[in-house]
Amino acid sequence: MRKPRKPIPAQQRALAQHLGAALKRNVALAPRTSFRIGGPAAFYVEAKTPEALATAVRVARRFDIDYFLLGRGANILMGDRGYPGLVIANHAQAIDVYGTCVTAASGALVYPDLIDAAVAHGLSGLEHYVGIPSTVGGALWQNLHFLSPAPARERTMFIGEVLESAEILTADNERRRVDVDYFEFGYDQSVLHSRDDIVLSATFELEPAPAETLTRIMQENLRWRAERHPPLDSEPSAGSIFRKIEGIGAGRLIDECGLKGLRCGDAQISPRHANIIVNHGRASAADVCALIMHAQRCVQAETGYWLTPEISFVGEFAPVTRLAADARASTAQPATS
Ligand SMILES: Cc1cc2nc3c(=O)[nH]c(=O)nc-3n(C[C@H](O)[C@H](O)[C@H](O)COP(=O)(O)OP(=O)(O)OC[C@H]3O[C@@H](n4cnc5c(N)ncnc54)[C@H](O)[C@@H]3O)c2cc1C
């Protein structure tokens, strides 16, 4: 992927002229990601409606300014040197329920806002994703998924299964309504990975269900997550780092290589879940990258499998200075916060 560029003065003037007072400079991004890692955005705007989101994207495209659309920041690693172009933070959060359909602006949080709205109307289909940090746009980008419903947990359920349609801004700046097939959903996959489309809003078609059933599934899924995953508030992370390897699981391979608990600075392969790296306070993106590279090398050497990251690497990265050898020396040290 091409390195994002800093806007030249003429582009900076265009941003100021077209985005007005909403445009901010040098805004910290770490607090706006679930990992709490990364440098600042050189230019930053919050879009509070789908119209504002479409406008910001159109301005960036018209003046050829590199931009990144930020949802909840739960599936990215932001580089330590931040983002030199324009970060558009999606805060468009309106949600409407009409019959069995729920329409949400793409910056709405899947949990709690979207799920709570559906459950309050006795509608089933979204409750499986309780506890997962995500905006609606990020959920479609990645086809949000979870092994549900409890207690059987027989299969992975995908948010694409309940999507009815969405309004997108196409790469040609056209606002268009598309149906679910347009997204070509797969595991951790959608057409959004390969096209420059922006989701503005999404409509989900849900099924009526008794409140007790919905509440039970949500409670059981929250308990399941709490028992297996590091808590996001005290151990910030980006969820699973590597893509699933069919039938084996990236976490199992990392665990088999004895890497659980491995630390590099304040970054650590979670002792609870080997496919999650946690930030114990001051971890840098470079620390996380050192662990990622080390895990890839060890797993390949010992099992022959190559681990592919699931998270996106965004912005500018400082060189990885701490090496795997330093990290290995600290394996299985107790976590400090
Ligand atoms: C603790 C934890 C647990 C997790 N558990 C799960 C899980 O069980 N299942 C699962 O599937 N995932 C899980 N994840 C990963 C993450 O929650 C999802 O990938 C989520 O959908 C990311 O959404 P986001 O809004 O944070 O997207 P971001 O991380 O902000 O962005 C991700 C990508 O989506 C793009 N994007 C965002 N909004 C739009 C839009 N409107 N239009 C087009 N592109 C857009 C961004 O530009 C970026 O490329 C977990 C993450 C964490 C931190």
Atom of ligand 1 nearest to the CA of 71: 30
Chain position carrying tokens 């789908």: 50
Predicted local confidence at residue 151, as pLDDT: 79
pLDDT, tens digit (0-9, with 9 covering 90-100), for 119-159: 999 999 999 999 999 999 999 999 999 988 877 888 999 99
pLDDT, tens digit (0-9, with 9 covering 90-100), for 203-235: 999 999 999 999 999 999 999 999 999 999 999
Distance 313 CA to ligand 1 centre (A): 13
Residue 326: pLDDT over 60: no
Give the sign of the dihedral formed by CA 31, CA 33, CA 35, CA 38: negative
Distance 208 CA to ligand 1 centre (A): 27
Atom of ligand 1 nearest to the CA of 237: 53
How far apart are alpha carbons 292 and 23 in whole angstroms? 34
Predicted local confidence at residue 16, as pLDDT: 97
Predicted local confidence at residue 154, as pLDDT: 84
Residue 324: pLDDT over 80: no
Which residues partner with 46 through β-bridges?
Answer: 89
Asked if 273 and 290 touch (Cβ cutoff 8 Å), the reply is no
Higher pLDDT, 289 or 248: 289
Residue 171: pLDDT over 60: yes
Predicted local confidence at residue 148, as pLDDT: 86
Distance 246 CA to ligand 1 centre (A): 21
Going by CA atoms, what residue is nearest to atom 40 of ligand 1?
137
Question: How many C-beta atoms surround the C-beta of residue 120 within 10 A?
Answer: 11
Query: Which domains, and CATH codes, for the chain?
Result: 9-90 (3.30.43.10), 95-228 (3.30.465.10), 237-314 (3.90.78.10)
- Residue 69 beta carbon below 6 angstroms from any ligand 1 atom: yes
**Element at 156 (helix H, strand E):** strand 155-158
Question: How many C-beta atoms surround the C-beta of residue 292 within 10 A?
Answer: 22
- Residue 74 beta carbon below 6 angstroms from any ligand 1 atom: yes
Q: pLDDT band at residue 331, thresholds of 50, 70 and 90?
A: very low
How far apart are alpha carbons 109 and 121 in whole angstroms? 17
Please give the average per-residue pLDDT across 61-80, as a whole number: 98
Asked if 261 and 274 touch (Cβ cutoff 8 Å), the reply is no
